[in-house]
């Protein structure tokens, strides 16, 4: 776990802020992985952050949001593909990383069914999940998993893959699912061609397969030499089978390519032997695997065990530990990140990890640096990296030189020279200078983001270009941008320039809470910004508020009260606010205060939103409901008073109905808002 401190020591607001940060990071990584097919981090790093988010949400259920990545299955649907609604959701799988966790899974299964079970154990193919639908033995549709409920129609592309049968050996109507992957030899050949053509190489075979399968031009897919393994049938009764093992055998007889390595294991000792066997052979296989999948072999038991919103209860994936290589640390550099955190990075002798040369590894914070006891001159083990900066697993202490230097932990910011601090016992060293050059770009990105000033069309790419050209350094510079300056952005013609200028101008009239959130104050997120705006009403009042007055606000607490007073009373913050006032940015709360809310249908109710909305974005509807005095929460429970359900509502709707909770569709909700 990589959280800054133990969960039991956290307050709900702190946990909520951390959860929001984790969701933002995981959403970005997930989009790069599933939608862009260009991963930014290794699987183990994603898994660690994901586990942290789950732990926070389990400890503080009230912070769960309905759009949290823990509440959905896969990636987004790409434009250009027809949408396919899956008859049965294509769920994800839970992950475990140790034998102890496998034992826990097995104990849970045995407790639920009352006896021991056989497992069909299969290799976890590193590819893209697909669905194939046949009618009277003829292939009529193929699709990706997408978000689990809706995927992309890629029938024509799948038709180009030799191992996908266009006609079955029997005229059955059924749906099967499996994995589309790129063999290692094909991957090496493809990257060779990419280099020759001056194009970027793919990070790994999984992303190469996904990128190849999601082509609008089927001829590209055909050239990529993809393959498949089929491992699931949606309606096993049609095959006349009672076990997972039998189902795979029958699917092979029908003409599907199935993996011959599957085995039935009677206990965990046999499962562990299987794991050890293929962990040792994984490099020799012609395709990539990243673990082993255990499935309860009895299909009737699978039905009885069922599934959660996201994962089946009857299967689990054991993921192999990351690959490691040894190298020597030659230097430790300190860099400033987006929130002012100063991060140590180890500079090492170059080493090959999974075919990629790496020479740098982040150490995250001072505590991790000291806990891992990394010094210049140490030999260290690195995780498998792909094409990213890896993480140091541990120091090989037995190879440490006789003389080792001090860590030389900095006391001032390497960018601006201001004194570094540990805010409120944080493990991170932090620069709290709002004008620190290394933080400016990231602060500007946050300022213009959807939950802050909501400047549509001003993304990270545009911020970086404007900063590089010297057009923006502080928040108020955004409001001084000219059409000539914006026209110098990549791809910006007259229409985009005018749209961005309009979005910037409109943001001047935002309510105070958006500005407070946009300032990037430590510990202040969307909800806290609104609380402060409701309580104090104007920016001038916030600037004059004492620690004691902040502390008196419900949900603020002593730590945040100190942060707020320190920020608002600083000369730098005073200058920043004066500059924003000068360019016409609103400094007052424009919403309705709780004491001013007139009695209405929604006031005082706990409301959950779900499904796709036609007339609002979810944030817009949430804001309206809050203004009407509703408490909008992320999950359905016995305490929920009302569920507003858009189209394609899923498990939250089912749970609300089972609990007898009132449900409104969007039109009914609009009518009641109008009242």
Give the DSSP letter string of 621-661: HHHHHHHTT-EEESS--TT--EEEE-BT--HHHHHHHHTT-
H or E element at residue 43: helix 43-59
Whether the Cβ atoms of residue 515 and residue 476 lie closer than 8 Å to each other:
no
Q: What is the DSSP letter of 342?
A: E
Joined tokens for residue 317: 């994936």
What confidence tens digit (pLDDT) does each residue in 191-214 have?
766 645 445 557 677 888 888 888
SS3 438: helix
Please indicate, yes or no, whether residues 122 and 271 belong to a single structural domain of this protein. Answer: yes
**Residue 539 pLDDT class (50, 70, 90 cuts):** very high
Residues 118 and 203 in one domain: yes
Do 282 and 412 sit in the same domain of this protein? no
Average pLDDT over residues 41-63: 74
Do 290 and 222 share a structural domain?
yes
Q: What percent of the chain has pLDDT over 70?
A: 89
Residue 121: name the closest of 263, 291, 273, 257 by CA.
Answer: 263
| Residue 609, domain member (yes or no) | yes
Left (φ > 0), alpha (ψ -120 to 50) or beta: where does 584 sit? left
- What is the arithmetic mean of pLDDT over 321-325? 75
In a domain? residue 263: yes
- Nearest partner of 585 among 479, 664, 496, 494, judged by Cα: 479
Spatial separation of the C-alpha atoms in residues 225 and 170, rounded to whole Å: 27
Same domain, 334 and 413: yes
- Compute the distance between CA of residue 635 and CA of residue 415 in angstroms, rounded to an integer: 42
Write down the pLDDT at residue 639: 74
Higher pLDDT, 405 or 236: 236
Name the active-site residue from 124, 372, 384, 655.
124
**Whole-angstrom Cα distance, residue 349 to residue 150?**
46
Number of domains in the chain: 6
| Distance of alpha carbon 150 from alpha carbon 56, whole angstroms | 28
The whole-angstrom separation of Cα 308 and Cα 142 is: 25
Question: Is 340:334 a contact under the CB 8 Å cutoff?
Answer: no
Assigned domain for 369 exists: yes
> Are residues 113 and 158 located together in one domain of the fold?
yes
Domain span at 92:
83-319
Average pLDDT over residues 279-288: 81
Tokens 């002012």 belong to residue: 340
For the domain that residue 667 is a member of, what is the CATH number? Answer: 3.40.50.10190
What is the per-residue pLDDT for 291?
92
451-484 pLDDT, tens per residue?
899 999 998 899 989 999 999 999 999 999 999 9
pLDDT averaged over every residue in the chain = 85
Quote the pLDDT of residue 146: 87
Determine, yes or no, domain membership for 135: yes
Pairing label, strands 315-319, 138-144? unpaired
Answer whether residue 596 shows pLDDT above 80.
no
Report CA-CA distances (Å) from 622 to 21, 101, 190, 607: 20, 39, 47, 9
Domain boundary among 427, 447, 476: 427
Instruction: Please check whether residues 392 and 308 belong to one and the same domain.
Output: no
Domain CATH for 277: 3.30.470.30
Residue 499 and residue 488: Cα distance in Å, rounded? 15
**What CATH number should be reported for the domain holding residue 482?**
1.10.150.20
pLDDT at 656 over 90: no
Active site residue 399: no
Residue 670 shares a structural domain with residue 651: yes
Pull the structure tokens for residue 27: 């959403």
> Which pair of structure tokens corresponds to residue 251?
């699917």
Asked which of 319, 334, 366 is the last residue of a domain, the reply is: 319
Sheet holding 227-233, edge to edge: 138-144, 128-135, 174-181, 227-233
Confidence of residue 651 (pLDDT cuts 50, 70, 90): low
CA distance 145 to 593: 44
Helix (H, G, I), strand (E, B) or coil at 667: helix
Whether 568 and 420 map to the same domain: the answer is no
Q: Give the whole-angstrom CA distance, residue 493 versus residue 488.
A: 9
Q: In 3-state terms, what secondary structure has residue 228? A: strand
Q: Residue 481 domain-assigned? A: yes
Q: What CATH number corresponds to the domain at position 411? A: 2.40.50.140
More reliable by pLDDT, 275 or 50:
275
Would residue 550 count as lying in a domain?
Answer: yes
In three-state form (DSSP H/G/I as H, E/B as E, the rest C), the secondary structure along 182-196 is CCHHHHHHHHHHHHH
Decide if 588 is inside a domain: no
Residue 338 has pLDDT above 70, yes or no: no
The domain boundary residue, chosen from 408, 427, 446? 427
- The average pLDDT across 587-606 equals 78
pLDDT in the model for residue 355: 53
Q: Is the pLDDT of residue 172 over 80?
A: yes
Q: Tell me: do 8 and 145 sit in the same domain.
A: no
Torsion of CA 286, 291, 292, 295, to 10 degrees: -120
- On whether residue 161 sits in a domain, the answer given is yes
CA distance 655 to 632: 17
Question: 237 and 126 share a domain?
Answer: yes
- Domain shared by 234 and 266, yes or no: yes
Mean pLDDT (whole number) for 346-370? 79
């Amino acid at each position: 776990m990589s959280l800054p401190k133990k969960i039991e020591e956290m307050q709900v607001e702190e946990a909520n802020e951390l959860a929001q940060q984790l969701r933002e990071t995981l959403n970005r990584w997930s989009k790069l992985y599933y939608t862009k097919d260009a991963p930014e981090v290794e699987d183990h790093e994603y898994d660690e952050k994901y586990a942290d988010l789950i732990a926070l949400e389990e400890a503080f259920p009230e912070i769960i949001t309905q759009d949290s990545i823990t509440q959905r299955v896969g990636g987004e649907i790409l434009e250009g593909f027809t949408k396919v609604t899956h008859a049965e959701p294509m769920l994800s799988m839970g992950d475990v990383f140790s034998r102890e966790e496998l034992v826990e899974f097995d104990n849970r299964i045995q407790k639920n069914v009352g006896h021991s079970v056989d497992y069909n154990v299969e290799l976890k193919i590193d590819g893209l999940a697909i669905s194939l639908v046949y009618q009277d033995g003829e292939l009529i549709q193929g699709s990706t998993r997408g978000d689990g409920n809706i995927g992309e129609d890629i029938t024509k592309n799948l038709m180009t893959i030799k191992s996908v049968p266009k006609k079955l050996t029997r005229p059955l109507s059924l749906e099967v699912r499996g994995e589309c992957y790129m063999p290692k030899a094909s991957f090496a050949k493809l990257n060779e061609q990419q280099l020759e053509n001056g194009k970027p190489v793919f990070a790994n075979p999984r992303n190469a397969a996904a990128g190849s399968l999601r082509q609008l031009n089927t001829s590209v897919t055909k050239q990529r030499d993809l393959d498949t393994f089929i491992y699931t049938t949606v309606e096993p009764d049609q095959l006349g089978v009672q076990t997972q093992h039998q189902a795979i055998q029958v699917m092979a007889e029908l003409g599907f390519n199935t993996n011959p390595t599957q085995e039935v294991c009677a206990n965990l000792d046999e499962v562990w032997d299987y794991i050890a066997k293929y962990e040792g052979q994984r490099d020799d296989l012609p395709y990539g695997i990243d673990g082993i999948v255990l499935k309860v072999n009895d299909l009737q038991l699978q039905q009885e065990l069922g599934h959660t919103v996201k994962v089946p209860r009857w299967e689990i994936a054991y993921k192999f530990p990351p690959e490691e290589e040894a190298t020597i640390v030659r230097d430790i550099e300190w860099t400033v990140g987006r929130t002012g955190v100063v991060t140590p990075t180890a500079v090492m002798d170059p080493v090959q990890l999974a075919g990629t040369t790496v020479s740098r590894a982040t150490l995250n914070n001072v505590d991790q640096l000291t806990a891992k006891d990394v010094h210049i001159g140490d030999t260290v083990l690195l995780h498998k990296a792909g094409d990213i900066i890896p993480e140091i697993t541990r120091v090989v202490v037995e190879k440490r030189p006789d003389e080792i230097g001090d860590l030389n932990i900095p006391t001032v910011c390497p960018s601006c020279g201001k004194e570094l601090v540990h805010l409120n016992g944080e493990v991170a060293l932090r620069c709290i200078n709002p004008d620190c050059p290394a933080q400016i770009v990231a602060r500007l990105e946050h300022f213009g983001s959807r939950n802050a000033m909501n400047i549509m069309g001003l993304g990270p790419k545009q911020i970086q270009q404007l900063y590089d050209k010297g057009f923006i350094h502080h928040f108020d510079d955004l409001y001084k941008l000219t059409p000539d300056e914006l026209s110098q952005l990549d791809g910006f013609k007259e229409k985009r320039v005018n749209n961005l200028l309009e979005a910037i101008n409109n943001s001047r009239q935002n309510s105070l809470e958006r500005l407070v959130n946009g300032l990037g104050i430590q510990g202040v997120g969307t909800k806290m910004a609104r609380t402060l705006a409701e309580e104090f009403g104007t920016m001038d009042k916030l600037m004059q508020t004492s620690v004691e007055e902040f502390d008196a606000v419900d949900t603020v607490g002593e730590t945040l009260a100190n942060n707020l007073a320190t920020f608002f009373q600083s000369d730098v913050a005073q200058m920043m606010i004066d500059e924003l006032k000068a360019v016409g940015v609103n400094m007052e709360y424009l919403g309705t205060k709780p004491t001013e809310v007139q009695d209405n249908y929604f006031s005082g109710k706990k409301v959950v939103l779900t499904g796709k909305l036609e007339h609002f974005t979810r944030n817009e509807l949430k804001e309206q409901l809050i203004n009407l005095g509703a408490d909008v929460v992320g999950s359905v429970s016995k305490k929920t008073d009302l569920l507003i359900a858009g189209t394609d509502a899923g498990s939250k709707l089912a749970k609300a109905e089972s609990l007898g909770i009132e449900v409104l569709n969007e039109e009914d909700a609009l009518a009641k808002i109008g009242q």
